[in-house]
Amino acid sequence: MFKYRSQEKELLDGQVDHKNLVLNLKELRSINTLLGGYNISIDALNKINTQNKTIVDIGSGGGDTLEEIRKWSQKKDQNVLLFGVDLKLDCVEYAKSHLPKELIFIHDDYRNIHKHLDNVDILHACLFTHHLTDQQIVDLIRYAKKIGSILIVNDLERNPLAHYSIKWLTRFFSKSQLVKNDAPLSVLRGFKKKEWFELLRQAGAKDFSVKWKWAFRHQIIVHG
């Protein structure tokens, strides 16, 4: 069950009505806050030069991660341009409806972001890559290299304790059927550390780091 990545698609990757999608996004924000998921992205940004850079959060969802990056940039006095891109129009509209206007959200495939922006210094993906196939992840790494971007990935470790913990936590405390189904499944679609090294090798990445982070996540930084 945990030896290989699950190929089962999450409900979020299909058609979801607006009400259930928004409930899902709100609960994911609570889970990320509770388990310290944002800290992994912030830690990665602290390791690179972000002053006067353009940061694009791909698969930005409800925009919560981008909002945390905005708060961090203000505390650190970092002058950054922040963009989110997502394939789901409902996600983009929800993010626009409740977040500060300096966060700009784009409805498109991340692979078209160069059509919207002249320059992308940093591509950031939080809880995005586990939605992709291995080949799509290889393509993402290659795309970042092609457009001259540093790639930051913050995603789940495929771990039995993480799987059963989130399964029981969401069973008792979640009101969202999407979260109850997708949260434990997302762990099964997550990664072992050695798998990241293999994906990076296949993509031709040379300068990168792969770190395990609490709670059951990996932080990947790819410079090229």
Cβ pair 88, 116 in contact under 8 A: no
Paired strand residues for 55: 82, 122
Paired strand residues for 210: 220
DSSP 33: H
Among 59, 12, 36, 32, smallest CA distance to 179 is for 12
Residue partners of 188: CB distance under 8 A and separation at least 6: 1, 2, 5, 6, 8, 158, 163
Q: How far, in Å, CA of 164 to CA of 136, rounded? A: 27
Residues above pLDDT 90, as percent of the chain: 97
Q: Classify the phi-psi angles of 122: left when phi > 0, otherwise alpha if psi is within -120 to 50, otherwise beta.
A: beta
Q: Which CATH superfamily is domain 11-222 in?
A: Vaccinia Virus protein VP39 (3.40.50.150)
Cβ neighbours around 129 below 10 Å, total: 27
Give alpha helix (H) positions in the chain: 18-34, 37-46, 64-75, 89-98, 113-116, 134-146, 160-173, 177-188, 193-203
- pLDDT digit string (tens) for 118-135? 999 999 999 999 999 999
Of residues 66 and 35, the one with the higher pLDDT is: 66
HEC secondary structure over 135-182: HHHHHHHHHHHHCCCEEEEEEEECCHHHHHHHHHHHHHHCCCHHHHHH
Calculate mean pLDDT across residues 64-74: 98
Question: How is residue 222 written in tokens?
Answer: 């790819």
Q: How far, in Å, CA of 13 to CA of 31, rounded? A: 19
- pLDDT digit string (tens) for 128-173? 999 999 999 999 999 999 999 999 999 999 999 999 999 999 999 9
pLDDT for res 1: 76
Is the confidence at residue 45, as pLDDT, over 80?
Answer: yes
Q: How far, in Å, CA of 223 to CA of 11, rounded? A: 33
- pLDDT digit string (tens) for 18-28? 999 999 999 99
Calculate mean pLDDT across residues 39-64: 98
